[in-house]
């Protein structure tokens, strides 16, 4: 059975979410305070976290950042404010998805299901040959060689696409620039690791909300890059 933690101070909303999730076979725990919620989330016994933004003691942004530094667990953020959405998308907090209040419980259940199965795929088979790779709003459609960010198409060149696909197919694995160059361009081609740097920069301009604060392709200083999950 999969365990879900709801961090939400509005009891009525939390209980509504819990009832729906339980009726779909999930085991649910509710925590009303931000600081305690974070502690529970870091215990590592939950398969997914539903995290409200406005919370007493510690807000959802901070909690999300802290969880993400230690855990790969899917995080679904809940907010009632439109202004929060840009923050969730742009800050590189590492949230997988967000949902705005009011939402229908069935929509919540559908998102929870989708993220749980995506994480299962990612963690059980990192070299999987799935047709789609979906991570925090970014979707790679392999058969079509097409990339969308929050349903908007990113127009990538062939090399940019190959680079993104290689990184995203091996989430959290660090690639050094020479390896990327060899695998994408081939040893015999003209160019060097600076080519990789240039392509990563262009790729970020196309897929990142804020290229100077990337939430997908992370620079590992002195080494290379990795696709963050």
Question: For Ca ion, how many residues bind (rule: CB under 5 A)?
Answer: 3
What's the closest the beta carbon of residue 22 comes to Ca ion, in angstroms?
21
What's the closest the beta carbon of residue 54 comes to Ca ion, in angstroms?
4
Q: Residue 57 or residue 121: which is nearer to Ca ion going by CB?
A: 57
Running DSSP on this structure, what letter comes out for residue 71? -
What's the closest the beta carbon of residue 67 comes to Ca ion, in angstroms?
17
Q: Residue 147 and residue 164: Cα distance in Å, rounded?
A: 9
Q: Residue 78 or residue 165: which is nearer to Ca ion going by CB?
A: 78
- Pair 178, 223: CB distance under 8 Å: no
Q: What residues numbered 41-70 form the site for Ca ion, per CB under 5 A? A: 52, 54
Report the residue closest to Ca ion, judged by CB. Answer: 54
Task: Please report, for residues 3, 6, 181, 207, the alpha-carbon distance to residue 112 in angstroms, rounded to integers and kept in the order given.
Answer: 11, 12, 37, 24
Q: Residue 60 or residue 94: which is nearer to Ca ion going by CB?
A: 60
Block residue for tokens 């392709």? 217
- Pair 204, 214: CB distance under 8 Å: yes
What's the closest the beta carbon of residue 18 comes to Ca ion, in angstroms?
15
Q: Which of 99, 71, 4 is nearest to 229 (CA)?
A: 71
Q: Residue 79 or residue 215: which is nearer to Ca ion going by CB?
A: 79
Residues at the interface with Ca ion (CB under 5 A):
9, 52, 54
């Amino acid at each position: 059975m999969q365990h879900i933690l709801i961090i939400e101070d509005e009891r009525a909303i939390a209980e509504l979410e819990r009832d729906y999730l339980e009726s779909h076979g999930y085991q649910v725990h509710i925590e009303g305070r931000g600081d305690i919620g974070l502690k529970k989330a870091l215990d590592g016994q939950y398969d997914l976290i539903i995290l409200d933004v406005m919370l007493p003691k510690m807000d959802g942004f901070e909690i999300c950042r802290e969880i993400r530094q230690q855990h790969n667990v899917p995080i679904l953020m809940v907010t009632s404010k439109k202004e929060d959405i840009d923050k969730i998308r742009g800050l590189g907090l590492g949230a997988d998805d967000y949902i705005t209040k009011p939402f229908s419980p069935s929509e919540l259940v559908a998102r929870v299901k989708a993220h749980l199965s995506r994480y299962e795929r990612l963690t059980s088979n990192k070299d999987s040959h799935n047709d789609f790779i979906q991570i925090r709003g970014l979707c790679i459609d392999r058969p079509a060689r097409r990339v969308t960010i929050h349903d908007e198409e990113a127009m990538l060149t062939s090399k940019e696409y190959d680079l993104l696909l290689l990184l995203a197919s091996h989430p959290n694995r660090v690639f050094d620039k020479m390896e990327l160059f060899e695998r994408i361009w081939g040893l015999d081609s003209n160019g060097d690791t600076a080519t990789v740097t240039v392509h990563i920069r262009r790729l970020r301009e196309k897929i990142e909300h804020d290229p100077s604060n990337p939430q997908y392709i992370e620079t590992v200083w002195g080494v290379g890059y990795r696709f963050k999950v």
